[in-house]
Structures are given as C-alpha cells and as structure tokens.
Amino acid sequence: MSGRELGVRLIASLVLLAVSTLCLTVGIVQRTVFEEPETIEQAIQMDTSAPATIISGSALVAYPGRQTVTVSGGVTGRVPSESGEGFVRKESSSVFVAYGSTVDVMAWLEPGRHTKLSYDLATDSLQVLPRSGEAYLPDPRGSDLWFAEYSGEGEVSFSLAGTEDITVLVMSDGQLPAPQTITLSWPGPNEAPWILALIVLGVLFLAAGLGSAVAAWAHWRRDQGPKRRRPKIASQPFRPKPRRPQPRQPPRPSSIKPRGRRSASFIALPLAGGLVLGLGACATEVAPIEEVVLEAAPAVQAPNPAVTEFQFSTIMSRVAAQIRAADGELSDSLLVPRVANPTLSARRVSYIVTRADSQSSSLLAIPAGPVRLVVPQQTTGWPRSVFGVIQDEQDLESPSLGVIIRQEDPRSNYKLTYAVVLNPQVQLPDLPSANVGAPKLNPDSKLIRLAPSELLAHYADVVNNGEESPFSEEFALAIDALYGQIGPDALALRQESFGQNVRIEWNTTVTDREVVAFSSVDGGAIVLGTLQQTERVEPVQSGAAVNSGIGIRALTSLSQSTEGFDVDSHVQILWYVPPVGSEEGIRVLGYTYSLIASREVVNE
C-alpha cells in the first residue's frame, strides 16, 4: 500500500468517527437532557361550596392520549339535619367520580348548582366556571346514566379514553361540597423517531470508522515487514527475436483509474453516502407547508343512542338481581324499583298464585345475560327505551327473551316493561347496531306499512274473527304459532274439551299499555304491544257449577261457581312489520301469555 492510499484511508476513518461522535452526541443529549417529561399534569385546588364539579370534554382532550383523573376528598359543610329542622355541620372524605355522555350528565345535574372545569388554551391551565342552581343534589351512586363510576375514601384515581362529548362528574354525596383537589394527567409526547435514527447511524459510523482504521493499520504493518531477496540466475546471451506487428491498443477509458486512484474512489463513495445519511439525520425538521383548508358546513348530528352495549349489560344485571330478590320473597314492593307495566302486573299475579300453591309457580325467569342484541333509541330526551335480546347463561337451551327497558327521566332508573319469549329458531330482521341506535316510532306513525296502534287493532280483529276478518291477509297466519293458540280454531278445541255443559266465549281487545316500535334497517319495524284476551266460562244448565283452576282459585278464593268465571289474560307480542311495498306478511316473532285477573260472572 502506497503512502497516499494509506493517508486516504486514515482520513476516511477520522471523518467517519467524527460523524459518529456528532450523531451520538446529539441523539444522547436529546434523549436525556432535553427529554420531555413522562406525563403532563394539570392540577387545580378549588374553594367552592357547590355539591358537584364537572370536567368538560375540552379539558379531557387538552392533550393527546388517555387521561388519568385523580380526585382527593376531605370536605366539610352544613347539611340539612335528619329531623328536617335546621342544619348540622358534617365532615366527609368520601369521593365519587363518574363519567358519561355530556347530554346525560348535564340532564342529570339540571337544575343543580355545580362547578365546571374547562381548559383555557391561552393560559394552558384549567379554568373554574361556577354555575348557579339548587343547593343540593340526589345521591349519584348507582345511576344508569354513567358509563362507569368509582367511589372511595380520601382519593380516587382512574384512567379513561375520553372524548369531547364525555363529561366527568365529581361529587361527595350530593349535600356536601364536591372534593376540592383535582388532577388531570396525560402521557408525555412520544420519542421522535429521528432521535433513534441518530443513535443508530452514530453506532454504524463508529463501526465503519473503526473498521477502516484497523484495516489501514493492518495493511501498513504488512507492507513494513521483512522482504526476502530472490537469488540471481545466470542470464542467457541476448538474441533478438523478430518483431511481429502488434495491434494498436485502444486508449484506456477514463473510468479506469490506476490502482491507487481506484482504491481511493472505493473509499470515497461509501464515505459520501454515509455523509449524506448522517447529515440528513442530523438536520433539523423542516416545518410543513401550511395548507389552506376550506371549512365545511357543520354536519347535522344525529341523536345519540340512549345507552351503550356495556351500559345495557350493566342495567340488565341490576334489573335481573332486583327481580331475583323479589321472586325470592314474592314481594311486590321489591319489584317496583325495576319493573313496570305490563310486566309488573303480570308478575304480581304470579306471586299471588305462587303463594297459594308453590307447586304451580309460573314465574318467567329474567336472566342478566348473555346479551345477544341491543337496539337503543336514538334520542337526547326522556322518556327513552331500549330493546334487547338476552338468554339465560346457565341454560343456553332456554328460549331467548326480547325485552324493553324504559327510563322516565334522567334521575330515574331503567325499568323492565316488556319480556317476550321469542319463537324457537326465530329470524329477527336486520336492526341498527348499538353504536347507532334506532329511531322510536310514534304509535300513529305512517312511516311503515301499518301504524303500530293500528297493528294491534287489526291483529285483535283477526284473532276474534279468523280468516273472515278483512285484515287477515296482512298477517302471515300460516306460520303464526300464537294465532293457533288464541284464534278461533283454538277456541273450538277448548269448547270441545269442556263438552256441552259449559259455554266458553273469547274476546280479544287492545289494552292501554305502551306500544313500542323501532325502525329496522330495511325500512320496516319491530313493534311490541299488549292485547287482552277475556275468557268467560259459564255453565249451560241452571244449577250446574264450574270448577275453578289454581290461578282462578287464588284470585277469587272460589273453588267453583254456578255463575261462571271471567278470566283476563295479557299477551305481550313482538311483531315484525315489513317495509312498504313488500309482499311479506306481518310476522309474530314472540309472545308471553300471562294471567292478569279473574272474577265471578255477575248476571244482571
């Protein structure tokens, strides 16, 4: 190796080592000295007497990433005495925190006094905005409106992925002031990828520089070693040979260099590429060119679904637990907090019959899950309803239930109104997902082929008159199991079973129970309503008596009657109404038949 070639290699090694030092220094310093903190915190210490504090969605999304909310309790205040006369001073360290949709949280708060925390971009801090209203609020624990709730003593901390349409509610118990210390934190900004690139390139340049220096040193040592002399050989007398004409050599291309220059080029090329990569990694980021963004017209936001799928599962767990407690004690009063008509009246009668004869219990089990389907109402107001399909987790062979839960106002809990046993192998129409929800149709809505209120009247007429009814063509009676049990053919079979000594009459009418209808994806609807079927059983011959069954005996306290009995039963029915223009008949998807009342016939 010539001295010039050795010098080129050494210079290349020094340059690579210099670039490596620069990249490693910038990368390590940026990673340690100038590294951003792991979390970003916004803390506030308030001095307010309001019973509630809300953290707005703008404060939650002030920085990117999941939010961690930490609330510290320990407050004192004057609260009404238990006797209702005057006030007493009370101290508490209890903390309650919940979050839900902003619409729901604000509806629950109204018209209570509260403090709002929002984010002020100009000062990069939380801003306190007091709101006037009533001095006290109800206990927020257990409300069906919350997505999640947390309670504790002294301090509560949790994380969430909040958005602008979510609000966090902070309270003590509704009477004492809300906890005064609130801290919001977010994860720090992620490490910039160019820092890691600098460190990696620095290591690569370091390896290349050291490798080049070691190779140059090895070549130098080899060239400086001892050289062996060759022995001289006696030369032969010189005899000139005749010269042959040699072809003229073409000129050497300019790209072919002598040995020394070729070696230098092989070193210079990777060096230049390394310098380009290294300088590119060390360069500062160029600010993006600002783009002109045209503001689009604000989109009309559809009403929010009443509940999420997780909320519905939580609510049904609470409803099922309350019903199990009521069933265990056969207590009507335990049903009231979570059950409403028409299911409430049917279950009350079942309790009466069960108390009279425990062996004849006909209580319909209301399982908590698993939840197969949720269709919440699209709404921002109250009352609101949700349709769902659930099945008994302990008995997957049991039929599924179609249920309706209803909430009257923001501070009330959802109550079970409908519980319909679905037909075996039933095929439900395509319904909107739980994230979207479905609009609830008015009873007189003309958006479907048959208005929900008219549907009940038409079906009652078909049940009473059979195929002679002018509405019989509207329904798929050939596959209607309910029609086969309460229609004219079923009445004829029942009359035949009693013989000629007893006369039986049936009459089906529309009740005043709420009719619930939700739109389906195809433009049709599912409709839930309640019909009442009254059966009169009376003897034909004078002086003859009619014996009563267990249910009639429990309700009338009569074992037989010479006048006969009137028995009222409610039928909760779930229909599918196809869209306008469809030739498909209206189908019964499920039903629940329940005894409601019984009395002795009064002849005038």
Residues paired with residue 131 on neighbouring β-strands, in sequence order: 114
- Return averaged pLDDT per consecutive 10 residues of the chain, 604 residues in all: 66 76 73 65 92 95 94 89 82 95 96 94 91 93 96 95 95 94 86 66 76 71 58 51 53 46 43 41 41 43 84 96 96 96 96 89 87 96 97 77 97 97 94 95 92 97 97 96 96 92 95 97 97 96 90 94 96 96 95 96 80
In whole angstroms, give the CA distance from residue 164 to residue 99: 12
3-state secondary structure 15-46: HHHHHHHHHHHHHHHHHHCCCCCCEEEEEEEC
Question: What DSSP designation does 440 have?
Answer: B
**Distance of alpha carbon 527 from alpha carbon 428, whole angstroms:** 12
Rounded CA Rg of the chain? 42
Residue 46, token pair as written in the block: 């308030």
Residue 536: other Cβ atoms inside 10 A: 14
d(CA 298, CA 286): 33
Output the six-digit token pair for 128: 């306190």
Looking at residue 378, the DSSP 8-state letter turns out to be B
Backbone dihedral angles phi then psi of residue 176, each to the nearest 5 degrees: -75, 160
pLDDT at res. 392: 76
Only one residue has tokens 């600010």, namely: 287
Residue type, 594: S
Separation between Cα atoms, residue 578 and residue 143, nearest integer Å: 37
Structure confidence at residue 246 (pLDDT): 54
Question: At residue 458, what are phi and psi to the nearest 5 degrees?
Answer: -70, -40
Residue 22, CA distances (Å) to 278, 286, 476 in order: 9, 20, 82
C-alpha of 332 from chain center: 34
Tally of CA atoms within 13 A in the half-sphere of 348 that contains its CB:
16
The CA distance from 242 to 225, in Å, is 43
User: What is the DSSP annotation of 174-206?
Assistant: SSSPPPSEEEEEEEPPPPPHHHHHHHHHHHHHH
The C-alpha atoms of residue 491 and residue 535 are separated, in whole angstroms, by: 10
Q: Which amino acid is at 191?
A: E
CA 410 to CA 400: how far, in whole Å? 29
- Residue position matching structure tokens 């839900």: 100
In the 8-state DSSP scheme, what is residue 436? T
Look at residue 328 and give its three-state secondary structure: helix
**Alpha helices in 283-342, H assignment, sequence order:** 309-329, 332-335
Pick from 389, 382, 459, 455: nearest CA to 419 = 389
Cβ neighbors of 586 (< 8 A, separation 6 or more) are 449, 450, 455, 459, 474, 475, 476, 575, 576, 577, 578
Cβ-based neighbours of 106, under 8 Å, separated by 6 or more: 54, 167
The DSSP result for 479-523, as a single string, is G-HHHHHHSHHHHHHHHHHH-SSEEEEEEEEE-SSPPEEEE-TTS
Locate tokens 């009657």: which residue? 561
Residue 208 is predicted with a pLDDT of: 77
Instruction: Name the strand (E) or helix (H) holding 527.
Output: strand 525-539
Confidence (pLDDT) at 431: 96
229-230-232 Cα angle (round to 5): 125
What span, in angstroms and rounded, lies between the C-alpha atoms of 368 and 324? Answer: 10
What's residue 23's pLDDT?
75
DSSP secondary structure letter of residue 301: P
- What pLDDT does residue 282 have? 41
3-state SS class at 126: strand
**Nearest residue to 437 via CA among 385, 375, 389:** 375
> 514-533, pLDDT tens digit by residue?
999 999 999 999 999 999 99
